[in-house]
Amino acid sequence: MGSIVDINLQLCTGCGACVALCPRNILFINKDTGTCAVSDETKCDKLRGCERVCMVDAIKIH
Ligand code: SF4
Ligand code: SF4
């Protein structure tokens, strides 16, 4: 999913840790799937805070 913010939906538990941390508020939990999603990835700061907070390595920044 996405060319900058890459979320592995098989691994994501929907814990919301990355959503709470993201300074650009571009991550959210998809209510239908229960997993993380990105809105406007062009706003990503690419500082990888979400990568560091994710306990299951489900989110990667490219
Ligand atoms: S790298 Fe930063 S701005 Fe981009 S999605 Fe992760 S926490 Fe949000
Ligand atoms: S921190 Fe990881 S497991 Fe939790 S919602 Fe974000 S991508 Fe999914």
Radius of gyration, CA atoms only, the chain: 10
Share of the chain above pLDDT 70, in %: 97
CATH code for the domain of 29: 3.30.70.20
Q: Give pTM, 2 decimals.
A: 0.95
Domain count, the chain: 1
Ligand nearest to the CA of residue 49, numbered in listed order: 1
Residue 54 is part of which domain span? 5-61
Answer whether 37 contacts ligand 1 (Cβ < 6 A): no
- Number of Cβ within a 10 Å radius of residue 60: 15
Residue nearest atom 8 of ligand 2, based on CA coordinates: 12
Tell whether the model's pLDDT for residue 6 goes beyond 70.
Answer: yes
Residue nearest atom 3 of ligand 2, based on CA coordinates: 12
The letter for the amino acid at 13 is: T
Mean pLDDT over the full length of the chain: 96
